[in-house]
Structure 1
Amino acid sequence: MVFSIQNEKVRFLKFAAVGGSGVIVNNGLLWLLVEFTTLPFYLCSILAIETSIITNFALNDTWTWRDRREGHLLSRLYRYNLSTAFSSLFINVTVLLFLKEWLGFPYLIANLFGIGCSVLFNFLVNSVWTYGEFRFRYPRTVWIIFFASLAFRLFLAAGLGAGFDEAYYYAYSLRPSLSYFDHPPIVGFLAGYFPYLTGIASALTIRLSAVFLYSITGLLLYQLARQFVDESKAVWAMLLFNITPIFFLLAGIFILPDAGLVIFWILTLLAFYRILFKDGRTADWLLAGLTTGFAMLSKYHGVLLGFFLVLYLLCNDRKKLLSPGLYLYGLVTIVIFSPVLFWNSQHDWISITFQSSRAVGNGIRLDFFGQALGGQMGYLTPMIFLPVLFIFFKVTRNVLLKKSLPDKFYLFFGLLPVMLFLLISLFRPILPHWTLCGYIVFTIPLAAFIQPAFRQKQWVRSVVYVSVGFMIMLLTVMFLHTRFGILRLDKLAAKGLISARDVEMDATLDMHGWEKIDHYLVDNKISPDSVFLFSPKWMLSGQVELATHGRFTVMCFNEGDPRGYGIWDKQLDVLGRDAICFYTNRYRVNPAVEFAGNFAAFGATDSLAVYRGGRIAKTLYFTRCYKLLSKYKAPYKDAQ
């Protein structure tokens, strides 16, 4: 291992030296083309960049990776070119934006860090892909699934308004920080990425990061599946990933923490595969540390990757527990995750406390467990949930009988994460998508089970076709109801089948009509300088932020659960200012009573009806509040 580390160190120094020569080639040729030709500047830049890439490839191919050249020269050049383009255009730019806009770094220093990250990423990818064993080849069926899924998810992302959580994560993006009250920072960065690039804040733009990352995750899942099953079964794994609601809705359309988690989860598992079943070079340990760290920056659940890796080694390969690579992996993971730890240390460990409190409870609650199972069956659909139960049993049996290494992989990185959250559900309510990453791994053995049965048995094909057709019909109905209110819930209430409160609490209304907030403010010529806005619920405050595109100061007056606003609002100097209290018929308050001690006086309340399908769907209320005397008392300590 020491020899391997030394080899990789020397190889990286060679790679860096070649990169330095590329800078000289790039700038030199750019100068020649600009000064002595009539070509447009952008074309001069493209030619200079591509020439430097080719010269870098030639030097790396004959010097840096001379001992690992395999395949055709043009094939290696293609992979090298693609890796360099991705690292330069995406990694460099993303790190630059994150450091400059999020953390306030000077742009030149931020750019240097971006270059450093892109160089490191480029080296790792070329080591593993261009000059390694991985070959990212895809059959035509994979690309059909890729583009069909992308088009479908773009349609839904554009056609549905933002939900409460999504608008709240957009509020994250307006307040760049190392971390947040209830989640690490990546979800805020992703929610604000395309609004920043396009200058447009909408449900579609805040979701675009999730939509595109999910498409890439599908390709990576296919590669992971190919390590265990043949091409046709790997295609099925990707298909299952793209047609299962728990995956494509919660990670592939809506902007949630899972959008970042799933791609880094799969990238980490690709590195784990090489560590556990191949040579496990230093680059693999380093890549695993980077991706685990970013998984944890996406969602705290990412810590399970390291936990189950150590558990796997304890049970199956204890020699690797002494490997320097494992400690390098842990060190890199901690370094990547350290911004969240630092932020928490400055805020009384508030997010760690909040999230851990959601995992413990008082006594066994079988009703919570039943809700968890029912939710997962609904999100997975019975067509997938029931076969998954069989796969759970089969994998566990094979591991106990010591039949298969792949089954051990499925057990530790698929079944055990699911079982952990089901165990938690015996004590506390859990959200169905908490188990999402475990089920993603199980698309591989599930594909291996379904693919031959689908080919050989007519009844299996019939079940699949009927189930997919039913799911499409259900999604169509839900989409149309969300947009146009086609389901007459009011008539069901009139007949006593549901309550009037059930109509009012229709969850699809969470994604409808919030743009009316901005219409009201514009029509009444209310400017950000004249008032600040607040609501009694963090969900409503998030919708106000998205509807007004971040123009107004927005707060949440709630002494019980203001979420991130409980920290953000402490930093605002709004004493003495006038405000407008926003609320809805679902979350109704009387501001003159509820906030009597906060304001000197209260004015009139305006109401605005939101229509859907020609009927009033909900009512928005705006109450004038004059001269803020004191802020509400947030339930968190004054940690800054």
Structure 2
Amino acid sequence: MVISTSIRLLLAALLELGNDEVYYWTYALYPDLSHFDHPPMVGFVIKLFTLNGLLRDDFFMRLGPIVFSTLNTWLIFVLVRKISNERAGLYASILYNSSTYFSIISGFAIIPDAPLVLFWLLSLMLMVDVLPAYKIDREARWKMILFGGYAGLAISSKYQGAFIWVGALLFIFLYNKKWLMDYSLYIAGLISLIILSPIVLWNFQNDFITFSFHGERVAPAFGIRLDYLGRELLGQIAYQNPLNVIVFIPMGIALFKRESFMAAHIKGILILNGLPLWLTFTGFSFFRSTLPHWTGPSFLPVIMIAAMYWSSRFREIGVTSRILMPKRILLPSYFMIVVLALAVYLINYSPFHFGKIDSVLMGENDFTQDMYGWREIGNSFRQIADEEEKRGTMPPNSGVISFRWFPGAHLDFYAAYPANRDLFLIGSLTDIHKYAWINESRGSLIKGRDYYYIAPSNYYRDPHKIFEHYFNRIEAIDTIKIERGREIMRYAFMYRMKGYLGNFKTPLNLRTATNERANN
């Protein structure tokens, strides 16, 4: 716990926020019952750990997931110790922190997966306690009701949390139908629904746009795409750490052979907790492009089963030490530390180009640019804007525009907001996401006003092509150069957008926007 948390705290101090992280900052800046693409929990986490935005810094933005991942390390140890033994619990905590998804993606980055994994693990702890209950007593009923609360909070973090209930109900139907006759199961379901009611209300008020958006992302398409499937599976291996996956393989073979190294009811709960989520989104990848972290929580049970398997195997061959870990358990952690050190070097210090080297598109497709250079762009923007306004070429406190949620959220967090300027996005609902609502909260673009446009070369869009119909004229101001390792990594081009014409139609007429998107 100390080692892994120290590493995450160091990373939080060294690395700027990524695309998703700065976007979810807007959930805390403009809280709501729900949001365009996700439930509201991640915004509440940010508000809590930044003291309602008082500590608006990369470090404190990430403090929530870092605290959660430390707690999760303890929880998974306690849970596996309870259902197996202490050594298996220790193995589980090590494999958990060796996983890229659990240790970094959900354990370091401030994204919806951070609270999702915490509440998933808390729900799983209660499932192990109560679902196999031979006698449903007062204590079991209270735990079932608490389970409904944790499951509801998981779904309020990310919609994949619904699979917690899927796994629980499958176990009840297959192994312990007594619960179907007990009122506490239905109270638990009601509590989950009450927790989710603000999300349902928000979507009702907004034409269920969230479900339309996500439905389009996973709706089956004609033709099987093996390339999508291959990319999804390779992504899952990378997100779980390839060396972790090697540790999982013998466990999978043992399960297939029906070897006995854990109680049957524990095996049923764990498999049904993870398998439905994994099958669903891996199945979608046969037809649609998916993202590997969508299946991330399904590997919690895999880690736990693997820890119990290896604890059993090492006991058989006489490995008993709780301090000296077997190499196959520790190697994934060593590999993770090396990868993280390399990532910090490549992102913050390396002179290497991984994208285009071009006078306009410098850095495009370079994955290291997402978490580097934005603070420098923000500082330079404020200096240039101050000079512009002192010369009278731009009005005081002019706002900023962009064209999409990324890089728009980065420019908002690092450039516009610190300078007390509003950033607005002009584009379709699928391009600007929550900024369709933020635009209105900030008073919308005002006819006749002038605005700045900042165009990072790694996400460059020519303002004359995308904004010429919205402004009287467009004038170049300056070029910001971002260096790393004494090499220019990318540029940020600044423009004056003069005389807004007042003709951007907000996409918040959601039915129209949804229909237009479907037709296109």
Same fold (TM > 0.5) = yes
Q: C-alpha distance in 1, partners of 2:104/2:290?
A: 18
- 153-162 or 543-552, which deviates more: 543-552
| Structure 2 SS opposite 1:227 | helix
Change (3 A) 1:628 1:198: closer
Q: C-alpha distance in 2, partners of 1:399/1:358?
A: 39
Contact 1:597 1:630 in 2 (8 A): no
Contact 1:599 1:629 in 2 (8 A): yes
Look up the equivalent residue of 2:277 and give its one-letter code: P
Question: Structure 2-normalised TM-score?
Answer: 0.87
| Structure 2 SS opposite 1:504 | coil
- 421-430 or 203-212, which deviates more: 421-430
What pairs up with 1:165-244 in 2 under 5 angstroms?
A: 165-196=20-51, 199-244=54-99
| Structure 2 SS opposite 1:586 | helix
Which structure shows the bigger proportion of residues in helix conformation? 1
Which residue pairs with 2:244 in the alignment? 384
Which residue pairs with 1:27 in the alignment? none
Aligned partner (choices 357, 365, 369) of residue 509 of structure 1:
369
Q: C-alpha distance in 2, partners of 1:392/1:468?
A: 21
What pairs up with 1:9-408 in 2 under 5 angstroms?
A: 146-196=1-51, 199-278=54-133, 279=136, 281-362=140-221, 363-395=223-255, 398=258, 404-408=264-268
- Is 1:600 matched up with 2:467? no
Q: C-alpha distance in 2, partners of 1:178/1:197?
A: 17
Aligned partner (choices 536, 548, 562) of residue 403 of structure 2:
536
How far has the Cα of 1:529 moved from its partner?
Answer: 5.8
Contact 2:474 2:495 in 1 (8 A): yes
- Is 1:614 matched up with 2:486? yes
Look up the equivalent residue of 1:360 and give its one-letter code: A
Q: C-alpha distance in 1, partners of 2:331/2:144?
A: 44
How far has the Cα of 1:256 moved from its partner?
Answer: 0.8
Q: C-alpha distance in 2, partners of 1:335/1:187?
A: 19
- Is 1:556 matched up with 2:425? yes
How far has the Cα of 1:311 moved from its partner?
Answer: 1.6
| Structure 1 SS opposite 2:131 | helix
Q: C-alpha distance in 1, partners of 2:237/2:306?
A: 15
How far has the Cα of 1:453 moved from its partner?
Answer: 4.5
Q: C-alpha distance in 2, partners of 1:292/1:481?
A: 39
Look up the equivalent residue of 1:481 and give its one-letter code: L
Contact 2:364 2:459 in 1 (8 A): no
Deviation string 1:101-153 (CA, Å, 9 cap, x unpaired) is xxxxxxxxxxxxxxxxxxxxxxxxxxxxxxxxxxxxxxxxxxxxx11111111
| Structure 2 SS opposite 1:358 | helix
| Structure 1 SS opposite 2:478 | strand
Contact 1:162 1:511 in 2 (8 A): yes
State the Cα RMSD in Å. 2.7
How far has the Cα of 1:414 moved from its partner?
Answer: 2.2
Contact 2:374 2:411 in 1 (8 A): yes
Q: C-alpha distance in 2, partners of 1:616/1:181?
A: 36
Q: Which consecutive unaligned segments of at least 5 residues does structure 1 have? A: 1-145, 495-499
Look up the equivalent residue of 1:448 and give its one-letter code: M
**Count of aligned positions:** 486
Which residue pairs with 1:106 in the alignment? none
Aligned partner (choices 555, 559, 575) of residue 446 of structure 2:
575
Look up the equivalent residue of 2:212 and give its one-letter code: T
| Structure 1 SS opposite 2:38 | coil
- 274-283 or 203-212, which deviates more: 274-283
Contact 2:122 2:150 in 1 (8 A): yes
Between structure 1 and structure 2, the one with the greater Rg is: 1
Contact 2:476 2:495 in 1 (8 A): yes
Q: Which consecutive unaligned segments of at least 5 residues does structure 2 have? A: 320-324, 390-394, 514-520
Look up the equivalent residue of 1:585 and give its one-letter code: S
Deviation string 1:471-513 (CA, Å, 9 cap, x unpaired) is 32222111111110254548xx89xxxxx97953111110001
- Is 1:480 matched up with 2:335? no
Look up the equivalent residue of 1:607 and give its one-letter code: T
How far has the Cα of 1:457 moved from its partner?
Answer: 8.7
Q: C-alpha distance in 2, partners of 1:487/1:468?
A: 26
Contact 1:575 1:627 in 2 (8 A): no
Change (3 A) 1:299 1:396: farther
- 277-286 or 621-630, which deviates more: 277-286
| Structure 2 SS opposite 1:348 | coil
